[in-house]
C-alpha cells in the first residue's frame, strides 16, 4: 500500500512521518515538493504518485492572516482539498484529512458532535468547512478528523509562547472565556495510524470524526498548567502564579473571531476504535519534558 503524506513539515505532518511508516510505502512531501496554491501541480503530483492513501496534513493555518487573504486560505484549504477528493474518488484511493473546531460558532453549551450544524465565524473556518464540503460532495472514500488547539514540540505554538513570556514578564493576561481541549500532534498522528489500520481491516466507516484529547480548559488554564508543569521540572520564571490574570476575549482583540466553546465530543471515534483518549494534561507534560 502506497501512502502519500502531504504537509510533512507541519506539527501533525512531522508526527505522521513516524506513525505512518509501519503501514505502507510512505512518500512524504513538503511545500518544496508540492505547493498547494498551484492546482495544476496538485493534480500532476497526485497522478504521478498514484497513492492508495492520501494523508493531507497541510493547511493554511494562519487564522488571523486569513481574514485579509480569504482567497489564499480557500485555495489551500478548499480548492486543493477538492482536487485531492476528486483524485481519490476517480482512482479508488482513501483521503485522510484534518479539520477544525472553527467550523462551529462556539455558542453551544455542550461539546460539539459531528452532526451539529456548522457556522464558521472566520475566513479560516469558512475555508476549512469548504474543504470538508468538497470531500463530502465528491463521494470519495474519506476519513476527516476535526481537532482543536494543536501543539507539538516543533514549530511555534501557544504553550511555547507562554513559557517564553513567563520568563520575561512579571504578569501575564490570558483569555479565560474560550474553552477547548489542547491536543498534541503526537496524539493526532497516533490515532490517524490506528484509524487507517482499522479502515483497511473494514472495521472503521468513512466520514467525519472528532479527534481531541479528553477534558477541557481555557487558554488561561492551559498557560497556568504549562507554567506550573515546567516549574515542577525545575524551570525558573519571572511571573508568579497569582500574576497570571484571566481576561475576557474582548480584552485581547484579534482579527479573526474564535469560538467560545471549542469542545468536541469524541465519543463516535472512541467507540469505533475502542480508544481511551488521554486527558490533555498528559501530552502537555510530555511536551514540557521534550522541550526542557
CA distances to 65, 161, 173, 261 from 252, in Å: 16, 16, 9, 17
- Least CB distance to ligand NDP at residue 265 (A): 15
141 binds ligand NDP (CB under 6 A): no
Which of 225, 121, 237 lies closest to 174, judged by CA? 225
- Least CB distance to ligand NDP at residue 230 (A): 20
| Smaller CB separation from ligand NDP, 72 or 267 | 72
Distance CA 196, CA 206 (A): 10
| Smaller CB separation from ligand NDP, 210 or 281 | 210
Quick check: helix, strand or coil at residue 88? helix
Evaluated on CA atoms 152, 155, 148, 292, the torsion sign reads: positive
Which of 58, 76, 57, 56 lies closest to 66, judged by CA? 76
Q: Any bridge partners for residue 179, and if so which? A: 218, 261
Element (H, E) at 222: helix 219-232
257 binds ligand NDP (CB under 6 A): no
Distance CA 256, CA 3 (A): 34
106 binds ligand NDP (CB under 6 A): no
* Cell numbers found for residue 61: 493555518
DSSP class of residue 95 equals E
Annotated catalytic residue within 124, 199, 209, 225:
124
Q: Which of 87, 98, 112, 209 binds ligand NDP (CB under 6 A)?
A: 98
Which among 18-26, 57-65, 164-172, 191-199 is the span making contact with ligand NDP, rule CB under 6 A?
57-65
35 binds ligand NDP (CB under 6 A): yes
Which among 8-16, 18-26, 110-118, 133-141 is the span making contact with ligand NDP, rule CB under 6 A?
8-16
Site residues for ligand NDP, window 73-92 (CB under 6 A)? 76
- Least CB distance to ligand NDP at residue 83 (A): 12
Establish whether 124 is a catalytic residue.
yes
Question: Which residues are at the interface with ligand NDP (CB under 6 A)?
Answer: 7, 9-13, 31, 34-37, 57-61, 76, 98, 100, 128, 147-150, 155, 185
Q: Which residues are catalytic?
A: 124
Amino acid at each position: 500500500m502506497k501512502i502519500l503524506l502531504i504537509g510533512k513539515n507541519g506539527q501533525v505532518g512531522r508526527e505522521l512521518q513516524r506513525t505512518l511508516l509501519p503501514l505502507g510505502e510512505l512518500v512524504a512531501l513538503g511545500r518544496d515538493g508540492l505547493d498547494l496554491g498551484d492546482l495544476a501541480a496538485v493534480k500532476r503530483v497526485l497522478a504521478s504518485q498514484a497513492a492508495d492513501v492520501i494523508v493531507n496534513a497541510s493547511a493554511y493555518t494562519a487564522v488571523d492572516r486569513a481574514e485579509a487573504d480569504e482567497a489564499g486560505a480557500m485555495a489551500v484549504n478548499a480548492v486543493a482539498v477538492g482536487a485531492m477528493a476528486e483524485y481519490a474518488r476517480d482512482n479508488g484511493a482513501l483521503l485522510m484529512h484534518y479539520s477544525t473546531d472553527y467550523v462551529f460558532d462556539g455558542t453551544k453549551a455542550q461539546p460539539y458532535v459531528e452532526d451539529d450544524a456548522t457556522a464558521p465565524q472566520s475566513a479560516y473556518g469558512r475555508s476549512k468547512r469548504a474543504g470538508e464540503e468538497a470531500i463530502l460532495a465528491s463521494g470519495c472514500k474519506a476519513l476527516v478528523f476535526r481537532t482543536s488547539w494543536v501543539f507539538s514540540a516543533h514549530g511555534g505554538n501557544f504553550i511555547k509562547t507562554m513559557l517564553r513570556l513567563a520568563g520575561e514578564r512579571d504578569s501575564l493576561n490570558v483569555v479565560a472565556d474560550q474553552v477547548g481541549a489542547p491536543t498534541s500532534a503526537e496524539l493526532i498522528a497516533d490515532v490517524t495510524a490506528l484509524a487507517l489500520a482499522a479502515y483497511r481491516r473494514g472495521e472503521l466507516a468513512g466520514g467525519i470524526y472528532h479527534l481531541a484529547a479528553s477534558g477541557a480548559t481555557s487558554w488561561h488554564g492551559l498557560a497556568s498548567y504549562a507554567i506550573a508543569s515546567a516549574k515542577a521540572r525545575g524551570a525558573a520564571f519571572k511571573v508568579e502564579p497569582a500574576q497570571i490574570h484571566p481576561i475576557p476575549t474582548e480584552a485581547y482583540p484579534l482579527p479573526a473571531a474564535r469560538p467560545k466553546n471549542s469542545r468536541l465530543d469524541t465519543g463516535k471515534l472512541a467507540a469505533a476504535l475502542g480508544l481511551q483518549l488521554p486527558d490533555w494534561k498528559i501530552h502537555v507534560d510530555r511536551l514540557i519534558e521534550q522541550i526542557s
